[in-house]
Every structure is written in C-alpha cells, then in structure tokens.
Amino acid sequence: MRMKAAVLHAQGLPRPYARTQPMRIEEVELAPPGPGEVLIEIAAAGLCHSDLSTIENQRPRPLPIIIGHEGAGIVRALGEGVTGLREGDHVVALFVTSCGECRHCARGRPNICGASFDARAKGTLMSGARRLKRLDGEVVNHNSGLSLFAQFAVVMRDSLVKIEKDIPLEDAALFGCAVMTGAGAILNTARLRPGEEVAVVGLGGVGMSALMAAVAAGATRIIAVDTSQAKLDLAREWGATDCFLAGHADCAVAVREATAGGLDTVIETAGSIPALELAYAITARGGSTISAGLPNVAAKFAYPHAALVSEERSIRGSYMGSCVPRRDIPLLLGLYQSGKLPVDRLKSGFVSLEQINEGFDRLSDGTVLRQILRPNAA
C-alpha cells in the first residue's frame, strides 16, 4: 500500500528545521504484514526529545528512515500466526521488542532485553524484515521497529499492547514513552512510597509524567527543577511543593539548603550532563540519583568516587521506567482513567505531517511538552 510519511533524509542539519527540512513528506510503499507482524493505522504519535536527538545526530541511524517511537493506533491487518489481537483493536506501541526468553526477560526486565538492539542499528524489524520503500525502490529504514511518523506502520506483534477502546488514542499515545518512562521511574525504579520526598530535574513530557506520578504516589514534598520558569509554574499547579530555576551556579546550594542537605531520591529526565550533575549535587547522603534521560551516546558523567562510597550514594539508570509494559501500561492507564494521572495535560497541541519540522523547532526551543502528530487527520 502507499501512504504518506515524514522521511528523515539527513541528521545534524542546522535549525530552523522549518527551513532546512530534515524530514520530507512523501509517499512511500508499505508492504503487508508478514508472519508475527501487524498493520496499524497511526492515530497519534508524540514528538519526543529522543526523536529530536535523532534529528540532531545525537544518535546516528541508517538513512533514510521514518522515525517516531511514541504512539497509538488501530489494528488494520494481522500477519500469519498473530494471536491476541483482532482487526479494530486499539493499541499502544512499544519501542523495545523483547524476546521473552533471555535472562533479562526471565527476571521481569523486558525493558533491557537486547534482542531488538541489532535490528534497531540495522533499521529493520526484530525479525530482520523490511517493509518500507520509497517509490523509486530505495529501502527506507525502520526506527525502533515502529516508524510512527506515518499514516500506517507494520510492527511486530510483541511491539503492541492492547488497550480499552474508550481511552482517547491521542492520550494513549503518551503512554508509549513519556508516561511509561517518567511515571515508571517514580513507581518502579525509585519505588517511591507515600510520605517520601523526591526531586525531578527536567520538566519535559517525561519529567512532568514523573511529577504527576509522585503526586499519585503520595509524596509529601516534590521539588521541581528546570531552566524554564513557565514549566516551573505548571509544575506548581500540578503538585510540586517547591520550584527552583536551574541554570545558575547557586541552584544546587539553594535546593540543599531548603531540604536540609538534599533529597533521598532525585530523578533526572533532561538527558543532559549538566542536568545529571545538578541532580547528583542535590542528592542527600545515602540517597539515589536516577537518570531517565538519554544524552548523546558519547556523553560521560564524572562523580567523586570516595563520596559515592563514604556517603553510600547510588547512581541508577531507568530505561522505559523499568516497566514491564504489558503489566504497567494497563496499570498506568487505570490511574489515568481514575483521574490520578492526568497526563492529558501534557498535550501542547497537534501537528500534521506537513507541520512536523516546525513542531521539532518548538520542541528544541523548550516551549512545549508533548505535541501530538495526527498523520491521518483531515
């Protein structure tokens, strides 16, 4: 079938993207689903900082490629052997396809299963298959086995979680990355309990999801830290008890003074080394610094090793919020449906395929949380 898609042809182009057009809107050929694969119509896809980092060449990818890894859609066709889904089902897409057999999957950690990493580097589905071509026959690469900045996608069955049809797909899309990553960092990685205190450094879609989850978890004090005063104002509306403007030398000192030496749990979601350094600086003795943001693949973080030992500190990563998606996405959606996780507030507006480059200009400016692509909207 033919469909419209935003095809990334060059990484590292200068801004504004509205002018340089790293993604071009064109018709491509999408092959039907093979064994174990599913064709979905993309209802909504979030514009995420991980996509922006791909555009910026922070994460090199084989080109041309259709990016987009956070979204939701409707099942339109099933490949041979697919079970548990029917045409018309609503689904959330997952950007890590787990094998279900390795030691990580066996220990309940499918988020760090390495089975799909090789396929991601090669731009294929986990099976090694390719389903995308330009009209001239040139291969178009898959991104994280999804490629959601398009009208349709063929993905592996294990890349989908079925959801209830009464959940708006434009909200459900956010659970594929922002909510799963941010809320999961609070509920799974940090295992925050009622009455505890936490800081969130970086208030994008992931950070705001973490903040909402901290409220839902019953945290008594929630410190919000960001370089944007507008985002700090939102954070206070949404449950932050204390807000600190980052970007100046005394921010860490101010937080430590206000918290009697720092916090036991600090979540960093900005995906930058300065943000991680700040998060570490405001972590108390005996506390945990948890990074859920993805920086440049070559970025390195230095820490004082003696203090790590003598203060019994810990530095942890949190990938996909340490989630087991088939367990946690329904649980998080349940919190959303009960009003305890109002992630619909994250939506900063809608874009069409033709507006996608401008959307990433706004994301790079830091003026939005989550813009939602609606590739099939009239």
Quick one: how far is CA 9 from the chain centroid? 22
In angstroms, the CA 140 to CA 137 distance is: 9
pLDDT of residue 286: 98
Q: What single DSSP character describes residue 158? A: G
pLDDT of residue 170: 98
Tokens of 184: 């999961």
Is 282 within a domain?
Answer: yes
- Residue 370 · residue 177 · CB < 8 Å: no
Is 102 within a domain?
Answer: yes
Task: Give the pLDDT band of residue 96 (cuts 50, 70, 90).
Answer: very high
Q: Which CATH number is 335's domain given?
A: 3.90.180.10
164 and 313 inside one domain: no
Buried/exposed code over 119-136 (b: 16+ C-beta within 10 A; e: otherwise): bbeebbbbeebbbbeeee
pLDDT of residue 116: 84
Of 271, 292, 317, the one marking the end of a domain is 317
Residues in CB range of 228: below 8 A, 6 or more apart:
203, 366
pLDDT of residue 218: 98
Integer Rg of the chain from CA:
20
Cis peptide bond N-terminal to 274, omega within 30: no
- H or E stretch including 180? helix 178-184
278 and 360 inside one domain: no
25 and 165 inside one domain: yes
Is 184 within a domain?
Answer: no
Instruction: Domain of residue 301: give its range.
Output: 191-317
The more confidently predicted of residues 292 and 120 is 292
Mean pLDDT along residues 29-33: 98
161 and 43 inside one domain: yes
Residues paired with residue 26 on neighbouring β-strands, in sequence order: 5
- For the beta carbon of residue 114, count every other beta carbon within 10 angstroms: 11
pLDDT of residue 249: 81
Is 186 within a domain?
Answer: no
Quick one: how far is CA 77 from the chain centroid? 26
Is 243 within a domain?
Answer: yes
Residues 104-118: tens digit of each pLDDT: 999 999 999 988 888
Of 291, 317, 343, the one marking the end of a domain is 317
57 and 102 inside one domain: yes
pLDDT of residue 203: 98
Strand 263-268 and strand 283-291: the pairing is parallel
Provide the residue count of the chain: 378
138 and 65 inside one domain: yes
36 and 156 inside one domain: yes
In angstroms, the CA 173 to CA 289 distance is: 28
67 and 169 inside one domain: yes
Residues 343-356: tens digit of each pLDDT: 999 999 999 999 99
> Per-residue pLDDT for 332 more than 90?
yes
25 and 148 inside one domain: yes
Helix/strand number for the chain, H first, E second? 13, 18
Tell me the pTM: 0.96
Residues 225-282: tens digit of each pLDDT: 999 999 999 999 999 999 999 988 899 999 999 999 999 999 999 999 999 999 999 9
- Residue 250 · residue 229 · CB < 8 Å: no
Q: Which CATH number is 245's domain given?
A: 3.40.50.720
- Residue 229 · residue 245 · CB < 8 Å: yes
- Residue 74 · residue 91 · CB < 8 Å: yes
Positions of E strands within the chain: 2-8, 23-30, 37-46, 65-66, 71-78, 90-93, 132-134, 141-142, 152-156, 160-163, 197-201, 221-226, 242-245, 263-268, 283-291, 314-317, 347-351, 370-373
In degrees rounded to 5, what are phi and psi of residue 376?
Answer: -110, 10
| Torsion sign (Cα): 192, 195, 200, 205 | positive
> Per-residue pLDDT for 328 more than 90?
yes
- For the beta carbon of residue 277, count every other beta carbon within 10 angstroms: 16
The more confidently predicted of residues 121 and 206 is 206
In angstroms, the CA 253 to CA 45 distance is: 39
Is 378 within a domain?
Answer: no
Is 34 within a domain?
Answer: yes
Total structural domains within the chain: 2
In angstroms, the CA 89 to CA 85 distance is: 7
Q: Is 177 exposed, middle or buried (0-12, 13-18, 19+ CB in 10 A)?
A: buried
- H or E stretch including 278? helix 273-281
Q: What share of the chain is helix, strand, coil (3-state, %, to 5)?
A: 35, 25, 40
Of 275, 297, 317, the one marking the end of a domain is 317
Is 185 within a domain?
Answer: no
13 and 140 inside one domain: yes
In angstroms, the CA 141 to CA 148 distance is: 12
197 and 221 inside one domain: yes
Residues paired with residue 316 on neighbouring β-strands, in sequence order: 290
> Per-residue pLDDT for 378 more than 90?
no
256 and 134 inside one domain: no
